[in-house]
Structures are given as C-alpha cells and as structure tokens.
C-alpha cells in the first residue's frame, strides 16, 4: 500500500476492518505539504541565462520568491516559479489566467515592464489532485518521528505500507519512497 499520505488523510479510501488507532493518529497528525510549480515558456530568455536559480524578495512574503531557469541546463527559454505552503494551496483555486498574470506581475517587477507574454504555460495543483492530496509529507506541530513507524507498520503479514511518508529520515523525497519499498520487499521476503 503506497497511497500518498494526502490520499489517506482524505478518507476516500476505506479500510475494513478499520486501521489501528496508532496508524489513524499518524495519518491525522503528520502533515501533507504543498509545493506548486508554474512553467512559463517564452520566445527567448530575457533573464540572465548563465544562472539556474533566481530569487525575488517582494512586498508579499514568499509569493513567487523562487524561480528556476531552464535556459542554461536545457537550452530552453523556460522559467519555473514555485509557491509553497499557504499560498501554494490558495492559488490552486485561482484560474490559470490569474496564476499566470500574478507571476507575470512579479517578473515585470524583476525584469522590467516590457518583457513579453509567455507563449505557453504548465501549472500543477497537487493539493487538489485526488491521487496526491499534496506534494509531500512534513512534521506538522504535534507529530513526531515515531508516527512514521506507526504509518509504516504492516497489518499482520498481509498489508504492508510504503511511500515517502513512511520513511523516518528521507520523507518528502524520491529516494525515501524508493527505500521504503526496499524495506517492504524485505518484510515480505
Ligand atoms: C513539486 C514537487 C517537487 C519535488 N521535488 C523533489 C526533489 O527535488 N527531490 C526528491 O527526492 N523528491 C522530490 N519530490 C518528492 C517526491 O516526488 C515524492 O516524495 C515521491 O514521488 C513520493 O513517492 P511515493 O511513491 O511515496 O508517492 P507517489 O509518487 O505520489 O505515488 C503514489 C501513487 O499512488 C497513486 N494513487 C493515489 N491514489 C490512488 C488510489 N485511490 N488508487 C490507486 N492508486 C492511487 C498515485 O496516482 C501515485 O501513482 C517533489 C515532489 C513535488 C510534488
């Protein structure tokens, strides 16, 4: 069972018999965070193309603060903007047009009023994705590492639990998810 913590939290998947209390508590108290991306493709790069990361300190804390340029590494005139946590969650309810316009206002503050409109965009909405319910897990206030062990504990010899949220050291990562799968493979050997 490798359902994301966000899916387990949603209650959309029901277990019969119900999950043990410690597992239910872990699902409730560990947090599922949000990190969303907006990719903007332009005709050509109008930003410095010899750096990968562009940081912005605007008047709205954390909003469009972090950008990655794909110009140097991939030779593509593409900018990737991030929004995390509360704002990342909030903008999921915005229309695509509103998200792109908000990002463009920030880019105009950074690079000047005359930069062009993007030719194309891609937007993620991880929190509203019914198969994700967020981006990756974190320690919410009131949670603790032992809760990841409770989440990872098998139900008898039948149902085994893997996925990033079950890894105590490398939660929130691809390698944490992979290593949790290795652990389960050993459990059922
Ligand atoms: C924006 C972003 C950036 C990231 N950056 C990094 C990074 O730089 N480095 C890094 O190591 N990690 C990064 N991660 C985290 C990494 O992607 C995850 O930790 C990892 O993919 C989790 O793997 P998983 O197998 O636990 O879950 P998932 O990859 O989410 O797999 C769960 C699977 O369950 C399926 N599923 C969901 N609900 C159901 C259902 N009801 N029935 C059947 N199937 C279902 C889903 O479709 C999905 O295929 C990032 C994640 C995000 C969102």
Instruction: Tell me the CA distances in angstroms from 110 to 50, 74, 91, 105, 117, one per residue in order.
Output: 16, 22, 21, 9, 14
Ligand 1 neighbours (beta carbon < 6 A) = 2-4, 7, 13, 35, 37, 126, 131-132, 135-136, 163-164, 172-175, 177
* Protein residue whose Cα sits closest to atom 38 of ligand 1: 131
Cα(142) to centroid of ligand 1, in Å? Answer: 24
* Spatial CB neighbours of 44, under 8 Å, sequence gap ≥ 6: 77
How many angstroms separate the CA atoms of 126 and 37, rounded?
Answer: 9
| Residue of higher predicted confidence among 174 and 62 | 174
pLDDT tens readout for residues 1-26: 999 999 999 999 999 999 999 999 99
Q: Which atom of ligand 1 is nearest to the CA of 180?
A: 26
Q: Which atom of ligand 1 is nearest to the CA of 130?
A: 38
Percent of the chain with pLDDT over 90: 96
Q: Which atom of ligand 1 is nearest to the CA of 124?
A: 1
Q: Per-residue pLDDT for 91 more than 90?
A: yes
- The pLDDT value recorded for residue 62 is 87
- The pLDDT value recorded for residue 170 is 98
- The pLDDT value recorded for residue 80 is 98
pLDDT tens readout for residues 31-48: 999 999 999 999 999 999
- The pLDDT value recorded for residue 142 is 96
* Spatial CB neighbours of 167, under 8 Å, sequence gap ≥ 6: 148, 152, 173, 176, 177, 179, 180
The answer to whether 67 touches 106, Cβ cutoff 8 Å, is: no
pLDDT tens readout for residues 108-155: 999 999 999 999 999 999 999 999 999 999 999 999 999 999 999 999
The answer to whether 55 touches 110, Cβ cutoff 8 Å, is: no
The answer to whether 138 touches 62, Cβ cutoff 8 Å, is: no
Question: Which phi and psi angles does 93 have, rounded to 5°?
Answer: -85, -10
- The pLDDT value recorded for residue 61 is 86
pLDDT tens readout for residues 45-87: 999 989 999 999 988 888 999 999 999 999 999 999 999 999 9
The answer to whether 127 touches 133, Cβ cutoff 8 Å, is: yes
| Dihedral sign from CA coordinates of 151, 188, 172, 144 | positive
| pLDDT band per the 50, 70, 90 thresholds, residue 189 | confident
Task: Kindly list the structural domains of the chain, giving each domain's residue range(s) and its CATH number in brackets, ordered by start.
Answer: 5-31+133-187 (3.50.50.60), 35-123 (3.90.660.10)
């Amino acid at each position: 069972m490798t359902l994301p913590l966000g899916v387990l939290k949603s209650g959309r998947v029901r277990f019969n018999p119900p999950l043990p209390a410690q597992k239910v508590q872990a699902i409730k108290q560990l947090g599922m965070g949000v990190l969303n991306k907006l990719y903007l493709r332009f005709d050509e790069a109008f930003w410095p193309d010899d750096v990968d990361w562009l940081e912005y300190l605007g008047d709205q804390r954390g909003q469009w603060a972090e950008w990655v340029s794909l110009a140097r590494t991939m030779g593509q005139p593409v900018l990737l903007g991030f929004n995390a946590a509360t704002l990342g969650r909030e903008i999921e309810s915005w229309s695509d047009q509103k998200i792109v316009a908000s990002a463009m206002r920030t880019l105009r503050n950074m690079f000047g009023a005359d930069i062009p409109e993007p030719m194309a965009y891609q937007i993620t909405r991880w929190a509203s994705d019914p198969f994700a319910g967020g981006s990756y897990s974190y320690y919410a206030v009131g949670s603790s590492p032992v809760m990841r062990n409770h989440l990872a504990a098998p139900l008898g010899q039948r149902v085994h639990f893997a996925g990033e949220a079950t890894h105590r050291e490398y939660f929130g990562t691809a390698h944490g998810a992979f290593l949790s799968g290795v652990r389960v493979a050993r459990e059922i050997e």
